[in-house]
Amino acid sequence: MALPQIDPDAPSFVRQYVNLANARLGAQALASSDDFFADMNRMLNPDPAVFIPGKYDTHGKWMDGWESRRKRVPGHDWCVVRLAGPGTIYGLDLDTSHFTGNFPPAASIEACLLADGDEPDADTNWQVLLPASNLQGNRHHYFAVPDQGPYSHLRVNLFPDGGLARLRVYGAPSFDARSQDADDLVDLIAALNGGTIVAANNEHFGLAANLLLPGRGLNMGDGWETRRRREPGNDWCIIALARPGTIESIEVDTCHFKGNFPDRCSIQATSAAGGTRESMITQSMFWPTLLPEQKLEMDRQHFYQDQIIKHVPISHVRLNIFPDGGVSRLRLRGKPA
């Protein structure tokens, strides 16, 4: 996995929502009109696209993305993608990194919602998610999508052909109460259940959204890591639960963080009826304590049950780390209200 590249010009949906087109979460390219030069599934790789000078395969220059051959007949190229799970889509990133003389001049995206286990066919009713939009070479193209979904599949259209390094689809997965563990508890902040990041004071080395991903972190880049704090205070992030509920088990995992794990952590929580992101940041300083301050160790899973303070159903939490550092994963397992 490459180190994270946090685009300072990226819109807020990139940090707030999960990438539903992430192959690590289960997204898959099902079919395409053509992927002669570069396999369609490469565009679902969550790592930043790379360029390797001098690397060729039997079809030509190796490119990190989906690339079709030069079209010599009427029409356009397309690719059907199954998302990691059905969800409401708020934003898109069509990334043409390293594609310069071979990027598509324009692209559009269609979407549909199918029952679990079904795949698109000739009778599928596709809805326009993104009308045909101009693209440029070697850059990100961010498109906000106002509250669209839920959708389970996308069809990416390239006009007429070319290469797309990465497709990123930022949204909130649909909550599925059947996702509980054997003890009937649900991770109420898991990305695939619909948990989202509201705000974080710093994400210099790694996005706070990584906290909500499944599995353990692959490396330090696959977690939330802040820069070294040189002033009083502590770092924090605010998370919206997929559904309000009560928490019975907490896991704080510092996997791979050794010389840079936080010394301590605590969690505050509330049931928030509304407000803006900015007002929630201010209010969160005074939220009641859910998990009192706990000492952390490097590269370790920390589990808490008896330490959790009894509470009414909550909708948001604030994870505090003292004074700074990196956390790989956070789990809040409980029961939806």
The one-letter amino acid code at 180 reads: Q
- Shortest CA distance to 204 belongs to which of 220, 224, 218, 222? 224
Which three-class secondary structure state does DSSP give residue 163?
strand
Whether 224 is covered by a domain: the verdict is: yes
- CATH classification at residue 238: 2.60.120.260
Instruction: Name the domain boundary from 152, 173, 194.
Output: 173
Cis peptide before 4 (omega within 30 of 0): no
Is 197 found in the same domain as 325? Answer: yes
In a domain, residue 4? The reply is no
Residues 200, 125, single domain; the answer is no
Q: What is the pLDDT along the chain (337 residues), one digit of tens a residue?
A: 444 456 778 998 888 888 999 998 999 999 999 999 999 999 999 999 999 999 999 999 999 999 999 999 999 999 999 999 999 999 999 999 999 999 999 999 999 999 989 999 999 999 999 999 999 999 999 999 987 889 999 999 999 999 999 999 999 898 876 666 768 899 999 999 999 999 999 999 998 989 999 999 999 999 999 999 999 999 999 999 999 999 999 999 999 999 999 999 999 999 997 778 899 999 999 999 999 999 999 999 999 999 999 999 999 999 999 999 999 999 999 999 9
187: Cβ contacts below 8 Å, ≥ 6 apart: 179, 181, 193, 195, 331, 332, 333
**Where a domain ends, among 103, 138, 173?**
173
109 within 8 A of 155, measured Cβ to Cβ: yes
Q: How many CA atoms lie within 13 A of 80 on its CB side?
A: 14
- Domain-embedded: residue 6: no
Please check whether residues 141 and 32 belong to one and the same domain.
Answer: yes
List the domain range (segments joined by +) for residue 221.
177-336
Same domain, 154 and 260: no
Asked if residue 153 and residue 90 are part of one domain, the reply reads yes
Same domain, 107 and 244: no
Residue 5 lies in a domain: no
Which tokens sit at 302? 């920390």
3-state helix, strand, coil in the chain (%, to 5): 10, 45, 50
Q: pTM of the prediction?
A: 0.85
- Residue whose C-alpha is closest to residue 276's, from 172, 199, 209: 199
Tally of domains in the chain: 2
Domain end marker among 173, 204, 228? 173
182 and 331 within one domain: yes
Q: Is the residue at 1 inside a domain? A: no
The answer to whether residue 70 is domain-embedded is yes
89 and 169 share one domain: yes
Q: Are residues 73 and 161 in the same domain?
A: yes
Same structural domain, 41 and 188: no
Examine the domain organization and report whether 165 and 185 are in the same domain: no
Q: Based on the domain organization, do 274 and 302 belong to the same domain? A: yes
Q: What separation, in Å, do the N-terminal and C-terminal C-alpha atoms of the chain show?
A: 37
